[in-house]
Structure 1
Amino acid sequence: MLHAAGAVFAERGYDAATVRDIAGRAGVNQALIFRYFGSKQALLTEVMAQGGKEQLNSTPPDRLFETALRGVLEGGGEPDSDRLLAVYLRSIGSADAAPDTVRALGEEYATALAALSPADDSTLRAQLAMAWLLGIGLMRVVVGQEPLASAEPDEICGHVLTALEGLLGEGKGHEGRAVDQRPGGRP
């Protein structure tokens, strides 16, 4: 049932997904979903918690960002793909769509990413990386912004992961570089 629910939430978002559609996809009666989960919101919470925990527990921290990014780039709408980010992106605007679970998972991901950075502001850097991941997913999966929506996953990952190294690294940031203040000047 959770797999079917994840697929329907990823395709339609929380508001447009119906328990009837989820039950049909799972090949069960709607009553069974209510019996085990109690509500559509509780079902979404379980989908998010299970998917997020599985990814956190099975992915080495240094591969976590790339795994989440590839999940949305390569299979945000395909059957049997990692749909966690797509579920999140399509459901985030719903007032009753498991905000506590989503917040807790985001904090766990950010904590794992922060541990990769030796910088004093590693938590901020990790949260910026998470915001970037969500923004990429939003523009590609929900908005369908071109050329991002049709770009090859390897090309996107190449650019993003190179920049992520700089973000999570201990670089001095803008205050450590000489910056040309002339119009059009570059560091």
Structure 2
Amino acid sequence: MAEVIRFEDRALKSLRDRLGAAEEARDDAIAFARGHSGATASIHHAALSLMRCESVPCLFDTIVRDWARLLEVDHTAVALKAGGKAYRIDEDGNHLLEPAWITRAMGLGKVQMRATNHGDPLFGKIAARIRTEALIPFEAEKGRLAGLILLGQEDSLPLDGAHGAKLLAFLGETLGAMLVRCGRG
């Protein structure tokens, strides 16, 4: 006589496994969305802080004094080429740089995010402490004023990839537009 094979137990276990995987994927998607939403809000707050400025010095002061808090990073600075000269503007003031350093760092023409054992030399004396960095290019006045926004973190952090780079590029574009506006005023 034929024996009846019971598939219910195996089917039920398979459905439970699939449900567990779906719930885990849902939780991951929610966590990503919350993190992305927070990053987007931080970027928007940083951009709005620039829009409140009425002078070029105010723009740079806002970046080096306020953005670390707004963007939740350890260090912020600006590397700037203007009139054949180059400068790093950071919380300690203005420092002369070799223009070639900025040209080299801007070589890719896009946001560069990386984990590192030593930050880019453009960070100056704090470069040795930088473990995660973002170099964000900006340009104003058809290239007569150009440079990089420097964001540095002393911890090694996972990088957000294309989404994060687009958000950071928005900050560079905002700074470029504000330099044009404030430079005319």
TM-score by length of 2: 0.31
TM-score by length of 1: 0.31
Q: Which has the higher helix share?
A: 1
Larger radius of gyration: 2
